[in-house]
Amino acid sequence: MKINRRNLLKSSLFSLGGLLIAPPGRTGIFADMAVTLDPAGRIFHSPLVREYFLEGITPAASPIRLDSNENPYGPPLSARKAVAEAVAGGNRYAWQEITTLIGQLARKEGVGSDAIMVGPGSSDLLERTAMAVCAHGGNVVSADPTFMSLIRVAESVGATWKAIPCKSDWSHDLGAMEKAIDSNTRLVYVCNPSNPVGTVTPTGELMDFCSRVSEKVPVFVDEAYIELADGATGSMIPLVQQQKNVIVARTFSKIMGMAGLRVGYIASLPATLHLLQKVTRGGFGISYTSVLAASAALTDQEFQDTSKKLITEVKTYLCDRLQEMGYAYIPSYTNFVIFPIPIAGKEFLGKMTAKGIAVRAFDIGNNPWCRVSIGTMDEIKQFVAALKSIT
């Protein structure tokens, strides 16, 4: 069954991929694209993944928001102060400030300023990459499950998606992905650590894969959660330093706690950025206040360390409780945890929502799963109590 997005929005507001009310890539010029529901009324994400939603319920309206992998501790005080001070400059475009931010990021990542593009969240850069690279069709190879933002936009501009099932431990099957590349492949998308499963691909294996594959097609590595991986996997930015055709995306939304301020960036070959400049001017979409907030937060190592410590503590608490309760959660290298649940996804969402808690419920294969973001300790204690009472 296909339903028109506008009609869907009239009857229900729901969130996907951390974006309120619409699946990633379906806003703006994609507003009239159909959202595909399967016969059971679940949103079709991929051959493996269906998502439940509740009609008429806005998850973000729940007092306890554990559905979008936000960082409850942000924004850092440094960023808040920068925003307050920047408000008075909001009559100006942020040309100079964007250039300064790009320079800071280039120094941090050890690449030239011409290898960095900033954008209003990394989603925007994922989507722009899909638009530019897949403008003439072709296909994108990625794991399934994965984060769907880039893929949905690639499909919307005429590309097809080669979805390669994850391995049994939910890590990327790099061998199968490499085999799936053909003469029509325009891009390989790797989400590391991966959303929605939270797993990592080992640094060495991924480096080898990206080095080899990028000789044939560009590899996009989405590192939205990399700072939370605690060394279990490493960034692919060194490959950009080595002039490989790899595009690495990072965001201020997770470790920096600035999801609503909307800042992300990519590092890649300058030639790739030229291609993207056909569909975006990069940082021009970021507000003056957010550019300055990002500049301030970038050097706020104390905030990042504290965030990571608190998120890790709460995640450990949650996983210990899940284990005691017999839930087979997937070990997570992110700020969310996903685990199979014993009741149908819609019923589960309904019961959680009734308790004021927003989470996500998917079917992966034929089994229902809950994905819960790591909120504060108090929020996670309330989630655990709710879980005990409803299952």
Toward ligand PMP, which CB reaches closer, 69 or 214?
Answer: 69
Is 259 an interacting residue with respect to ligand PMP (CB under 6 A)?
yes
Name the minimum Å distance from CB 388 to ligand PMP: 28
Contact mark string toward ligand PMP, 223..242, x via CB under 6 A: -x------------------
Cα distances (Å, whole numbers) of residue 29 to 26, 60, 114, 267, 354: 8, 24, 29, 26, 35
* Residue (of 277, 248, 286) closest to 120 by Cα position: 286
Select the residue interacting with ligand PMP from 51, 222, 300, 379 (CB under 6 A): 222
Toward ligand PMP, which CB reaches closer, 195 or 272?
Answer: 195
Toward ligand PMP, which CB reaches closer, 295 or 384?
Answer: 295
Residues 12-31 close enough to bind ligand PMP by CB under 6 A: 17-18
Instruction: List the Cα angle 277/280/286 in 5-degree steps.
Output: 130
Is 253 an interacting residue with respect to ligand PMP (CB under 6 A)?
yes
Name the minimum Å distance from CB 146 to ligand PMP: 8
Toward ligand PMP, which CB reaches closer, 197 or 384?
Answer: 197
Toward ligand PMP, which CB reaches closer, 94 or 143?
Answer: 143
Name the minimum Å distance from CB 380 to ligand PMP: 19
Toward ligand PMP, which CB reaches closer, 240 or 384?
Answer: 240
d(CA 280, CA 290): 18
Place of tokens 């700072």: 227
Toward ligand PMP, which CB reaches closer, 291 or 384?
Answer: 291
Are the beta carbons of 318 and 367 closer than 8 angstroms? Answer: no
Report the amino acid identity of residue 319.
C
Is 109 an interacting residue with respect to ligand PMP (CB under 6 A)?
no
DSSP assignment of 192-252 equals SS-TTT-----HHHHHHHHHHHTTTS-EEEE-TTGGGSTTSS--SHHHHHTT-SEEEEEES
Question: Based on C-alpha coordinates, what's the Rg of the chain?
Answer: 20
Give residues with Cβ within 8 angstroms of 301, minimum separation 6.
none
Is 71 an interacting residue with respect to ligand PMP (CB under 6 A)?
no
Name the minimum Å distance from CB 190 to ligand PMP: 10
Q: Which stretch in 120-128, 204-212, 345-353, 363-371 sits in contact with ligand PMP by CB under 6 A?
A: 120-128
d(CA 365, CA 234): 29
Name the minimum Å distance from CB 20 to ligand PMP: 11
* Residue (of 309, 310, 331, 314) closest to 382 by Cα position: 314
Is 368 an interacting residue with respect to ligand PMP (CB under 6 A)?
no
Query: Residues binding ligand PMP: what is the number (CB under 6 A)?
Result: 15
Is 123 an interacting residue with respect to ligand PMP (CB under 6 A)?
yes
What pairing do the DSSP bridges indicate for beta strands 336-340 and 185-191? unpaired
Toward ligand PMP, which CB reaches closer, 253 or 307?
Answer: 253
* Residue (of 314, 102, 334) closest to 222 by Cα position: 334
Select the residue interacting with ligand PMP from 147, 209, 303, 362 (CB under 6 A): 147
Is 122 an interacting residue with respect to ligand PMP (CB under 6 A)?
yes
Name the minimum Å distance from CB 196 to ligand PMP: 8
Is 121 an interacting residue with respect to ligand PMP (CB under 6 A)?
yes
d(CA 361, CA 147): 15
Select the residue interacting with ligand PMP from 171, 185, 201, 251 (CB under 6 A): 251
Is 191 an interacting residue with respect to ligand PMP (CB under 6 A)?
yes
Q: Where are the beta strands (DSSP E) in the chain?
A: 2-4, 34-36, 43-44, 49-51, 64-65, 116-119, 139-144, 160-165, 185-191, 219-222, 246-251, 264-267, 336-340, 357-358, 360-364, 367-373
Name the minimum Å distance from CB 263 to ligand PMP: 7
How large is the greatest C-alpha to C-alpha distance in the chain, in angstroms? 56
Task: Give contact residues for ligand PMP (rule: CB under 6 A).
Answer: 17-18, 69, 121-123, 147, 191, 195, 222, 224, 251, 253, 259, 264
